[in-house]
């Protein structure tokens, strides 16, 4: 008898998003999970799929994630609750790798000193010519950064393997008014800000300093010494 699990939210969107993150096609993912491509397509496209626990475990393994994450059980929890890896290794990233990790689009954290004191805010951002850009509206807290030094941080955690990385940028923020520059930023943006509303004011951060760290699995240690005969 196959037991079905209560799946929270949109399983299909989580599966598709994780596939895209790993750069896998439906065919590759189905082959990894030992299931038919048509069944994986059903899971991704159905509004209320009812897969069995076995299928979900296979899919979680194929997508290198956990069953809890795949079914949305940790959607309201902060990241980083998993334990450390067996052999964690902290590696410093060079500037080229830092910019590669920042990518072209995502959600990062803007750190500034506002009228109310030190503040950290999440913002949707785009990278154009190694400049970080985001949209806001006049009169908002993010708009207060114009002409000031700020910090901007992006990170990613892989709970299943206790791996992660973070990139920190320090620089000066300025507004964008040149029509050609604005057109280029709009073309580079892949989506509108998650917060919604009219946010047509573009702010750029010119990086003065960039640094990054990566936590990964270290190499196996030496084999234990054998006792004498």
pLDDT single digits (tens) 17-58: 888 888 899 999 999 999 999 999 988 888 777 788 888 889
Helices 53-62, 37-45: axis angle to 10 degrees equals 100
The token pair at 40 is 């994986």
**134 and 49 in a common domain:** no
* 36 and 117 part of one domain: no
| Residue 40: domain span | 11-70
Classify residue 62 by burial, with Cβ atoms within 10 Å: 0-12, 13-18, 19+. buried
Interatomic CA distance for residues 184 and 192, integer angstroms = 15
141: in domain: yes
CATH number (domain holding residue 180):
2.30.110.10
- pLDDT of the residue at 174: 93
Residue with tokens 């920042």: 102
Please report whether residue 155 resides in a domain.
yes
Judged by DSSP in three states, 151 sits in strand
Question: Is 228 part of a structural domain of the chain?
Answer: no
Supply φ then ψ for residue 87, to 5 degrees: -135, 70
CATH number at residue 17: 1.10.260.40
* Number of independent structural domains in the chain: 2
Query: Residues of the chain whose pLDDT is less than 50?
Result: 1-9, 223-224, 229
Buried b (16+ CB within 10 A) or exposed e, 178-201: eeeeeeebeeebeeebeeeeebeb
User: What are phi and psi for residue 55, nearest 5 degrees?
Assistant: -65, -40
What's the predicted TM-score (pTM) here?
0.61
Nearest alpha-carbon partner for 16 in 44, 55, 41:
44
Question: Domain ends where: 22, 41, 70?
Answer: 70
Task: Indicate if 212 and 125 belong to the same structural domain.
Answer: yes
Residue 201 is predicted with a pLDDT of 87
Is residue 191 one of the residues assigned to a domain? yes
CA–CA distance from 185 to each of 5, 80, 122, 191, 200 (Å)?
44, 33, 19, 11, 11
Provide the token pair at 219. 């190499």
- Does 136 map to a domain? yes
One DSSP character per residue, 167-228 reads EEEEEEEEE---HHHHHHHHHH--S--TT-S---EEEEEEEEEEEEEEEEEPPPPPPPPPPP
Locate 33 and state its tokens: 């999970």
Q: Is 154 helix (H, G, I), strand (E, B) or coil?
A: strand
């Amino acid at each position: 008898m196959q037991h079905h699990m209560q799946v929270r939210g949109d399983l299909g969107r989580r599966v598709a998003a994780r596939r895209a993150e790993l750069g896998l096609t439906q065919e590759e993912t189905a082959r990894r999970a030992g299931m038919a491509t048509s069944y994986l397509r059903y899971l991704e496209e159905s509004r209320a799929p009812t897969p069995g626990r076995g299928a979900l475990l296979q899919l979680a393994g194929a997508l290198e994630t956990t069953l809890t994450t795949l079914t949305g059980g940790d959607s309201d929890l902060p990241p980083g609750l998993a334990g450390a890896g067996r052999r964690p290794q902290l590696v410093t990233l060079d500037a080229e790798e830092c910019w590669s990790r920042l990518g072209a689009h995502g959600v990062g954290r803007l750190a500034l000193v506002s009228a109310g004191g030190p503040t950290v805010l999440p913002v949707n951002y785009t990278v154009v010519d190694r400049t970080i850009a985001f949209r806001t509206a006049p009169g908002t807290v993010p708009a207060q950064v114009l002409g000031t030094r700020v910090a901007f941080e992006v990170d990613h955690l892989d709970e299943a393997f206790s791996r992660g990385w973070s990139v920190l940028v320090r620089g000066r923020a300025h507004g964008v008014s040149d029509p050609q520059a604005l057109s280029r930023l709009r073309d580079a943006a892949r989506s509108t800000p998650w917060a919604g509303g009219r946010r047509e004011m573009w702010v750029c951060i010119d990086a003065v300093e960039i640094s990054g760290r990566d936590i990964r699995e270290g190499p196996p240690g030496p084999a234990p010494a054998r006792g004498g005969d």
